[in-house]
Chains A and B, each alone.
Chain A
Amino acid sequence: DGGITQSPKYLFRKEGQNVTLSCEQNLNHDAMYWYRQDPGQGLRLIYYSQIVNDFQKGDIAEGYSVSREKKESFPLTVTSAQKNPTAFYLCASSSGPSYGYTFGSGTRLTVV
Chain B
Amino acid sequence: KNEVEQSPQNLTAQEGEFITINCSYSVGISALHWLQQHPGGGIVSLFMLSSGKKKHGRLIATINIQEKHSSLHITASHPRDSAVYICAVIGGGGADGLTFGKGTHLIIQP
Of the residues A42, A48, A105, contact of B95 by C-beta under 8 Å: A48
Contact (Cβ within 8 A) A45 B94: yes
Contact (Cβ within 8 A) A43 B86: yes
Chain B 88-109 interface residues, beta-carbon cutoff 8 Å to A: 88, 90-91, 94-103
A11 to chain B, nearest CB (A): 13
A29 to chain B, nearest CB (A): 13
Contact (Cβ within 8 A) A101 B90: yes
Interface size range on A against B: 20 to 34
Q: Is B60 an interface residue (CB 8 A)?
A: no
Contact (Cβ within 8 A) A45 B42: no
Contact (Cβ within 8 A) A97 B42: no
Contact (Cβ within 8 A) B90 A9: no
Q: Is A33 an interface residue (CB 8 A)?
A: yes
Chain A 37-56 interface residues, beta-carbon cutoff 8 Å to B: 40-43, 45, 48, 56
Q: Is A108 an interface residue (CB 8 A)?
A: yes
A93 to chain B, nearest CB (A): 11
Known: A104-B43, A105-B42. A45 touches B90 (CB 8 A): no
Most buried by B among A9, A41, A48, A100: A100
Most buried by A among B33, B42, B90: B42
Q: Is A102 an interface residue (CB 8 A)?
A: yes
Contact (Cβ within 8 A) B44 A105: yes
Contact surface of B with A, Cβ cutoff 8 Å: 4, 30-31, 33, 35, 37, 40-45, 48, 86, 88, 90-91, 94-103
Contact surface of A with B, Cβ cutoff 8 Å: 6, 9, 31, 33, 35, 40-43, 45, 48, 56, 58-59, 90, 92, 97-98, 100-106, 108
